[in-house]
Amino acid sequence: MDHKPKSQAAQPESQSRDRSADLFELYAEDPIRADEIVFGRVPESDRRGFLRGAGLATMGALLGATIPFHRNMPAGLIPEALAAKDIKIEGKDGLTVYNDRPVNAETPAHLLNDDVTPTARHFIRNNGAVPANMDAASWKLTIDGLVDKPMTLSIADLKKNFQVVSEKLVIECGGNGRAFFDPPASGNQWTVGAVGCAEWTGVRLADVLRAAGVKKNVVYTAHVGADTHLSGKAGMLPISRGVPIDKAINPHNLIAFGMNGGPLHAQNGAPLRLVVPGWPGSCSQKWLTRVYLRDKVHDGPKMTGTAYRVPRYPVAPGQKVPTKDFEIIHAMPVKSLITSPATRGTLQGRDMNVRGHAWAGDNLVAEVNLSIDFGTTWIPAKLTRPDNPYAWQHFSADIKFPQAGYYEIWARATDDQGRSQPFEIAWNPKGYLNNSMHRISVRVA
């Protein structure tokens, strides 16, 4: 997670807290100089930003505890307990609501502690207005385009003619973690909770496409939903994305009509949606009414330009990138989330069990390691196998803190291809694919 989010900052007691924005600007421009102001004088040759003298005392006063591993803190790092946003907006069962037109809401990390994400705590990502009619009995799905046998199916037809399966599948917004980009990227300012792993029930997309007959020249799918454009203009779609046909026929993609043993929630696509796990959630069209097959890359709304695309090469923060140099996001990167304990809590005693989830797009997570000393040493966590492909994996570790004080717990997952979460964000203009390490804070009493 980025170590310079624009919220609160650590300051000497002589400075007013309402001037934190100025300090963040300084951290962005010159983190070493900011360390000197906040933590006391640091020699120019000392690039680690050690906390010393009154600076360390000031930081301890702000945190309400000493920092046993303060000498390991990187220059410019603001403790998570002081940096994390604390925006509390009334939402459904604890969700943080970012807007209501369209509705977008994420789930605080500690409310994602369940092995399977409850329906009431699954995040919401909408692009248009929820359709007025969501009657399951009259709902129709059309499969057409480059197929041998175009079909129009009811939900009853899907249940009757195809095998019904249930799988635990991760859906994550491509912009999850955008709030920590510096300089900022436009779009919903998700922190870490635009992700969930519900148990979805439906039929395999591959089975339905196979029944329709996929022509040899098919390149891409195109998805259409019943949600309406916010402008209200008839026939204008808010979003219509697709996936390469090789991804579409993966047996773990579902045309889903059930969620956690019940019907889909209205805000999660009732009565019918796609679930295309491992790729950005925008591929999982909600309120699904049509899938058609094309002989070229789909060019529907939010498939062109820079939407759900990243530069094909690394870029510097703030760098301008020509539109022609963007490429479509496919698989999501390896990632982890600490769900217990909740961040900014106080521990009575020295022992703590840390728990969370990890996932890795089209791949498996091979290991998760935790650190309590700002990444100097790492503690291996126990990691489960996924209940089925594309389900998230659970990790846990028992941690013993050496003394009282302020600590940060960092989680770093590594996938089966050897790719690990970075500390720094790999910045891009649209704020996608932030898989930097998750960190929480705890005060040991």
* CATH 2.60.40.650 location in the chain: 335-444
pLDDT of residue 59: 60
Does 352 score more than 90 pLDDT? Answer: yes
Residue 60 confidence class, pLDDT cut points 50, 70, 90: low
Q: Give the pLDDT confidence of 273-310 residue by residue, as tens digits.
A: 999 999 999 999 999 999 999 999 999 999 999 999 99
From residue 26, how far is each of 19, 82, 186 by CA, in Å? 11, 16, 22
What is the pLDDT at residue 35? Answer: 54
How does DSSP classify residue 384? P
Q: What pLDDT does 121 receive?
A: 94
Average the pLDDT over 341-367 and give the result.
98
Measured distance CA(395)–CA(381) in Å, rounded: 6
Question: Is the distance from CB of 207 to CB of 176 less than 8 angstroms?
Answer: no
Summarize pLDDT for 40-56 with one digit per residue, the tens: 444 444 433 333 344 55
Is pLDDT of 260 > 80?
Answer: yes
CATH architecture, range 335-444: Sandwich (2.60)
Contact (Cβ atoms closer than 8 angstroms) between residue 140 and residue 289:
yes
Is pTM beyond 0.85? Reply is no
> For residue 349, what pLDDT is reported?
96
Q: Where does the chain hold its CATH 3.90.420.10 domain(s)? A: 92-328
pLDDT of residue 415: 98
Q: What whole-number distance in Å separates Cα of residue 397 and Cα of residue 412?
A: 13
Calpha distance 346→285 (Å, rounded):
41
Q: Which CATH number fits domain 92-328: 3.40.50.620, 3.40.50.880, 3.90.420.10, 3.50.50.60?
A: 3.90.420.10
DSSP 245: H
Residue 37 has pLDDT above 90, yes or no: no
Q: What is the mean pLDDT of residues 50-70?
A: 61
What's the pLDDT band for 128 if we cut at 50, 70, 90? very high
Question: How many percent of the chain have pLDDT more than 90?
Answer: 75
Return the percent helix, strand and coil in the chain, to nearest 5.
20, 30, 50
pLDDT of 23 higher than 80: no
pLDDT in tens, 135-172: 999 999 999 999 999 999 999 999 999 999 999 999 99
pLDDT at 291: 98
